[in-house]
Every structure is written in C-alpha cells, then in structure tokens.
Chain A
C-alpha cells in the first residue's frame, strides 16, 4: 500500500487552484474557459459532467431495446425468407455448432453492450461514494469500457459485409434489418456516454465531491 500513500500525497491541479486541460495536459488558473495551448474547453472537475453521462447512457439504453427486438438480418434463401434478431442469430449459430462465431457475436453484441451499461452506471453511481484507494480499479474499468466500447460496432460491420457480399440472386441474399441502425446508434451513444465521463471524478474523495 506504499503506492497508495504516495498517491494520496500527490496534489491535484484542483488542490492548487488550477484546472488541467484534458486534451493537452496544461494547467491554467481556475476559471479559465479555454486552454491557451490547444484551444479545448476546460472542464472543471465536478459532478455536473455526470448529467451528460447519464443522458447519453439513457439514450443508448433506449436504442439498445429495439436493437434486440427487431431483426438484424433478413436472410432469403431460395424464396424462403428468415429474419434473425441478435440473440436469435447467436442461438442459431450455437445450434449449428458454430461455437466460435456464436461466441464472438454474443460477446460483441450482447455481453459487451450490457456490461458497458452496467459499468458506466456503476462508475457514475460510485462517484463520491468510493474510497480514493479504489480509484485504480475504477480507472481500469473505465479504460476497459472506453477501449472496448467501439468493438461492439463489429456486428454492424458484419451485417454490412454479409449484406453486400451475399447477393446471389435467388439462391441466397442477405439484407440488413432495422436493428442494425438502432444497434449502431446504441453503440455510438454509449461511446459518447463513456467519453463524457470524467475519470478525474474517480479520484475525488467523498468529502470533496461537493466542491470548494
């Protein structure tokens, strides 16, 4: 826990009455609106940013519902048309013993989005409640969410590739379903939600969340 002690001793820009630029790292006196070096808007570290997180989060969740209810793919083979929702496709792949693809699709389209919703909600709720010592785990979680969030887009790309490629006249044709749009929207919105989350909030202890 030696590291923790060091960490606790490290002053923050906020402690010094400064605001750090999240874009280029320069610090400016509190109250400065725009970074003089990179021109980014300086965001003070406070809970107000969390509203944007929740707003994007809710929008993403709303979009995620039709993404699961509507068909992702319409597969027409020899006059027989079949529609697949995300979960339906996973189940079918699994039934065809195509475990690898089933796992990839399941992870990318179900597991990641759902865990992302949970993770962002957890991080947002935890702001101000956690011990500063827990910051490392939370930061790791945040970084994972931010890194992995984009990968949910894979399912949209798969649908696009399949639809563009499998156009063999009457034999087989794949068309995208409405769920592709709402799923892509959901992924984009959760990405925005994650980006809106200010990781610096993680490091603020419960006592100081209310600001100076």
Chain B
C-alpha cells in the first residue's frame, strides 16, 4: 500500500530583513554615549595611582579622601584608607599615589606629617591650620625597587637630601640648653641643625648629630671648633662684661656655633666627631683639640684644703699649660686606727701633645710617660701664679727632697699622680718687703676715695653728659697697666714675683713662722677694727644704687650718656690709683698681713653681694636687649642703641673688672693690686 496523499506544500513566509537593514542609524547615538562613558571610566580606572601604605604613630588630622600627600609641596596623592597595623601599635595609612611619581617611591622614600608647629624657631606651617594636616614625602629621582609599605617619620627630617651636606657628631659634657632642631650657626648664620640628642653609652656625656648644609659644610675642617651658644651668656671677668645672644632661637632652644681658629685642617667626612665646648672662649682657648679623642685623665689627692681651685683651673706641666681641672670632690679614707679622714680629689685632664707626645696618644702611653716622670721626682702640687700669687694652678713639676712615690695606675676611675704640699715661698726673704708695701698703703684714704668714686659714679650716672669716648677708657686702661708696671718695677721690684705669689699662704704662715710680731699683732687688731669700722656696707649700698641708676638710665633715652659718666668715673678711679701709687709717705697704717686679712674678710663680706649685683647687671642687660628687640632690625634707632650698648659694654667692662677684682681678691684692692 502506497500512500496516495500528495506531499505537503512548503510553508513559505517573507524572509525577515537582515538585522542590519532594520537597524537605524540612531543607534549610533547610544553606542557613542556608551563608548565615551566606558572610555572615561576606563581612563579614570587606569589613571588611578598605586596604593602605598605608611605607618604612623597616630592619625591626628588625617582624613580619608581629603588629606593629601605632597612632594615638594605638590599634591601627588591622597589618603584612601586609615587602618591599623595588625598589632594595633600604629596607624596604617593607605595613600593612592599618582601614577607618574609612583615608580620613584622606593625604599629610600621618607614620609612625615606636616602640622602647624610652634617652636623656638618660630611658627611654621601655619597654613596647615587652614588646609589641614598633610603628609609630605621625599624621594630621589632614581626609580628603585618597588616598595609599598613605609614607616612614617616622627618629625620632619633635618634635611631632605642627606647628600647635600655633611653629618658630623658633637660630644659635650651635658646637653645644657640644647634641643633637637636647634640651629648650627656659622658667624651668626644658620647653616645646619642639630638632631638626635642622646646620652653617650660609654661615659656621662651627650652626643648630638649635626647636619651642616652644603655649601657651608666646606667651612668645616678637622681643626674646626664648636661651642654651645645656648641662652644669654653674660660673663664678667677681667676683660669686662660680655653679653652674647646669638638668636632668639638659640636662647630658647640652644644653638651651636663653630669657627675654625687654626688653619691646616683637612676636609671633614661624614660622621666626623667634634668636641662641643661650653663657650666661645673655651673653644678658642682650650688646649684640647677640636677632635673628640679623650684627653688623658688623672686623679690628684691633696691632704690640705685647696680653696681657690675650680673646674677649669689650669694644669701646668713644667711651666707649660698642659691641661685643666675637670672635677673636684672629696674622697674619704680611713687611717690605720679606723678614723675616717677626707682628702680633696681633683681630676685633671691632660692634652698629650702638651706633654710632648703625639696628639691623640692613648692614655696608657701617657700613663707610661708620666710614671717615668714621677719616678724622677715629678709631683703635682698647688701653686700660686700671678702678681700676688692670687691665681692658683696645679703644677706638675719636679719637687726635690721628697720620698719616692709612684703613680697608682690601677686606681679608679683614673690613675693617681702623687702630690706634694703647696709651694710655699721663701717667706723670710720676702715678708719684710711685703710688710713695707702694705704699710705704704693709705688704706683709709683709699677706701674714702672708693666711696667718693662711687658717689661720683652715681652722680655722673644721673647727670646728663654727652657721649663718652672709648679712647678715655683705653687711656685709663693704659694707666692701670702703668700702675701695675709701676708696682712691678718700682717699690716691688726688689721682691721677686714668686715672693709675692706666696702672699696668701704667707698670710696664714705669718703667725706661725715668724716670731717677734706680738706688738705688730696688737696693732693688727686695731687696724682690723679700723678697717672693719669702715662703711663698707655703704659702699655696697652705693653700688646697688649705682646699678639701679644704670638700669633706669638704660630704660631711658639717656642711656647714651652713661659711657661718658662712667669714663669720667674711671678717670677718677685712675686718679685714685695714682694716689695709691704715690702714697709712700702715708703712715696711717702700721699694718700687718693679718690686718690685711681682716680687711680682706670684711671686704669679702661686703662683696658677697656681688653675685646679686651681677644678677642686676644681667637684668639690666636683658632690659636693654628687650628694648633693642622691640625695635625693628637695622632701624636707625636700633643701630644707635647697639652703638650705645657697645659703648656701655666697654664701660661696664672697666667697672666690672674693678668689681671682679674686689670679688676675687679683696686683698689686692687694699694692697693696690
């Protein structure tokens, strides 16, 4: 059976148009929009920088999306996230860094927070109060291995680029007024900063790193000396009052200045060590070099009282200055019966080169050398030098006729050098001369003149005279020198300097060593009483008054009158001294050295007020400085005031030397130097 049914017809329908013919051109519009939108999206995604992570101690002022990362004050990134490190010890900041700088951020890169800072150097980054804290970064121009995690610095680095300068190390006994970030000055110009103040591990000193910026680091040589300029330095000594404030910053934060006093040094390498002296004078005059090689140190033990020795007292090695006293203390010993007794322990430091050894010689070689000297009879002793032996030094010299002694090289903390009794001069030969000199002094008149002088100083200080001439001061000083020469070559010519040196010890030995002075002693008492009765307090009060006047004057515009007044005063002082010199005929005092002592102690009592006076001087100087500061720099007024100050300082120096002389050595005042 075949199926007779016809095959089915094909079902036909119109073929649909191809899809592209149905597409309208209008679809290009959304396509274009889509392309542009996707393009922008892709570009912003691909332009988005790399994420780096920086750890900081805290995130004060940082806000994601707002706080920026800057490189040379140009924004190069923005904080994205703020989180914590896994141990929660610090904050981890995620920063999206622009693509173009990302390759340069390598392991050398450093980051720190920039916030407003109020420091002694002034107020800085005040702009960040408004703009908010930002992160500053620094990296060099050589792309390095990609590093993406950093630890932020606690504070801005002293220098952005350590290759643009020299790092050196400073060692000092104590930090004094120095603080991190304090300036390093060269001739008053800031050329670097201090950083990383730390205690020495080995000894009790401190170490500071200092960065000297290029090109100023070329000023450094191995002979360069550094000193601390912290605060105000007012020094009152024989050269006068000197006042030094380098900058306000150094006043608050401390500062270090350097200078090269000696030529011949070599260029400094990074990390070179330098000694930091406490002051410019110390730096200039120190016999120890610029380097930090430790001087040899020794201990001297004295049975006797060593009044007059202080830190910085010179140590002479066979007459040559070779070191200084660095420490004074008392050391207890027990004798054979078990009774404790005290010895004075003096630590000295010696510069090897002054002993004839090579600079920087190790202590053990110095020990060896000194031990040999000691075997040959060298001892340490206290000696007076100077006109009247008023200045004490430690002498390392051969002392004959002493039992043999040895250095204790194993003593702690430093080896000891055996000592000898203080050098007493040949008193018998000189006492008479000394008495003659003393008896020749018109002490009462002198004191009367002193009072008159001070009166006139006061009067002159109040008077309105015209400007002074420093020349007068020079003349005066010349006169003073002449006087000293006169004393040396005139009446005192017969006495040797060494005889005069022994005066202080002579004062004590007079009673014990010289007989037949009983009658003299009686009159001594009378003389002492006479001296004691003198209106020394009045002098002191007048000095006070004078200083008050000086201060008032400095506050007023009459300040410039002062030098004139002072020079006049000093002229009078000169006259007084002249009188002293010619006063051989005066027979007022049948004095003895004991009387001199009495007078001296009375004077000492009066001059105990001198520190107070010095303090007042400082106040005065501070007032003056403030006055100067209240006017702009380099104004005409300022210049004038500075001139005045300079004049004043000179004048005050002369006055100061007088005062200091009284303080240090009242005897000299009475005895006419």
Contacts and interface: CB of A to CB of B under 8 A. Distances in A.
Instruction: Tell whether A and B belong to one assembly.
Output: yes
A170 B130 CA distance: 6
A166 interface: no
A2 interface: no
A171 interface: yes
Contacts of A169: 130-132
Nearest to A167: B66
B615 interface: no
Contacts of B132: 169
A169 B130 CA distance: 7
A78 B131 CA distance: 11
Interface string A129-153: 0000000000000000000000000
B129 interface: yes
Contacts, number: 8
Contacts of B130: 78, 169-171
Nearest to B63: A169
Contacts of A78: 130
The majority secondary structure among interface residues of chain B is helix
Nearest to B132: A169
A154 B577 CA distance: 98
Interface in A151-189: 169-171
Interface in B79-94: none
Interface string B124-137: 00000111100000
A171 B131 CA distance: 8
Contacts of A171: 130-131
Contacts of B129: 170
A170 to B, nearest CB: 6
Interface in A22-71: none
A170 B129 CA distance: 8
A78 B129 CA distance: 11
B61 to A, nearest CB: 10
A170 B131 CA distance: 8
B421 to A, nearest CB: 77
A199 to B, nearest CB: 33
A150 B132 CA distance: 40
Nearest to A169: B132
Interface string B551-568: 000000000000000000
Interface in B608-652: none
A42 to B, nearest CB: 35
A49 to B, nearest CB: 40
Nearest to A172: B130
Contacts of B131: 169, 171
B145 to A, nearest CB: 37
Interface in B117-157: 129-132
B348 to A, nearest CB: 62
A189 to B, nearest CB: 35
A80 to B, nearest CB: 13
B66 to A, nearest CB: 8
Contacts of A170: 129-130
A7 B276 CA distance: 109
B68 to A, nearest CB: 12
A130 to B, nearest CB: 45
A171 B132 CA distance: 10
A193 to B, nearest CB: 37
Nearest to B66: A169
A52 to B, nearest CB: 40
A66 B132 CA distance: 37
Interface string A69-97: 00000000010000000000000000000
A78 B132 CA distance: 13
B27 to A, nearest CB: 28
A81 B338 CA distance: 85
A165 to B, nearest CB: 14
Nearest to B129: A170
B543 to A, nearest CB: 55
A78 B130 CA distance: 8
Nearest to B130: A171
A113 B129 CA distance: 43
Nearest to A170: B130
A169 B129 CA distance: 10
B572 to A, nearest CB: 64
A79 to B, nearest CB: 11
A78 B126 CA distance: 14
Interface in B170-192: none
A169 B61 CA distance: 11
Interface in B377-399: none
B551 to A, nearest CB: 44
Interface string B96-131: 000000000000000000000000000000000111
A39 B132 CA distance: 60
B570 to A, nearest CB: 60
B132 to A, nearest CB: 5
A172 to B, nearest CB: 10
B127 to A, nearest CB: 10
A1 to B, nearest CB: 44
A29 to B, nearest CB: 40
A76 to B, nearest CB: 13
Nearest to A171: B130
A115 to B, nearest CB: 38
Nearest to A78: B130
A75 to B, nearest CB: 16
A170 B116 CA distance: 14
A166 to B, nearest CB: 14
B673 to A, nearest CB: 69
B64 to A, nearest CB: 14
A189 B16 CA distance: 52
8 contacts: A78-B130, A169-B130, A169-B131, A169-B132, A170-B129, A170-B130, A171-B130, A171-B131
Given A169-B130, A169-B132, 6 more contacts: A78-B130, A169-B131, A170-B129, A170-B130, A171-B130, A171-B131
Interface of A: 78, 169-171
Nearest 5 CB-CB pairs, A to B?
A171-B130, A169-B132, A170-B130, A169-B130, A169-B131
